[in-house]
Structure 1
Amino acid sequence: MAINIEPAVIPHLVVSDSAAAIDFYVKAFGAEELGRVPRPDGKIVNAAVRINGSTVMLNDDFPETCGGKSMTPTSLGGTPVTVHLTLTGVDAKFQRALDAGATVVVPLDDMFWGDRYGVVEDPFGHRWSMGQPVREVSPEEIQTAMASG
């Protein structure tokens, strides 16, 4: 039997507590758990959820596989990566993430590039931007807005 593999780019997040992260993503983003592989001690080696139609993989932190270094955003002092969600009903979904325990990084607002946009940080240190296109904006309008901003 041949295995069909579709090309994909899938974020793979390292968290301090995968079970709690899965629960958070279900509450905050309406994630659907696709599966998890726990070790006998309960730490999760690999898990997957579907958020906004896309797969996100995650696992518990295993410093022993990374030269003794923890790889969570919290232990690293933050993250340079933001996972972006293009949504409809962004106001309600942004509030849902806050109600589930996320914190505001960039308040939700109408942006010069035409999106209603904001950024939250989850309890595990990962950042999630949320945007909903609300109006068409020309490249010239964007340049003018940036020059005057």
Structure 2
Amino acid sequence: MAKMNPYLNFDGKTEEAFNFYKSVFGGEFPAIHKIGEAPGTENLPDDEKNRIMHISLPIDAHTTLMGSDTMPSMGHNLVVGNNVHISLHPVSREEADHLFNGLSAGGTVEMPIADMFWGAYYGSFTDKFGIKWMVNYDPQQK
């Protein structure tokens, strides 16, 4: 497997939180993606369009802190304590399927693993022990 990173969720505070983390760790954000940039978001409330869909802050050569905001209009409610995911970045599509299918067995799939509009093969779930996971295979990032 290529990488495993912490992924944090916030209720509209991701940008503020990541600017704080950046002030402590240093570094730069490779990109900040807003929810309103995604296809099919035209009818979302304006305040949700400005929420963060994805942000990352490289900490060192092996660790990247990642995060996003919840979407209340889509039924996503943040509960402090379940707002952390483990984000897996496998080296192949086959490894992504193996990790997703193995770890999600007996758990609850939130988003089935599939090709996504941003170019990755992605899925998310809560395992049978209540741990939240994301599997993100991006063939562009080796």
TM-score, normalised relative to structure 1: 0.39
Give the TM-score normalised by the residue count of structure 2: 0.41
Return the structure number with greater relative CO, CA threshold 8 A, min gap 6. 2
Max radius of gyration: which structure? 1
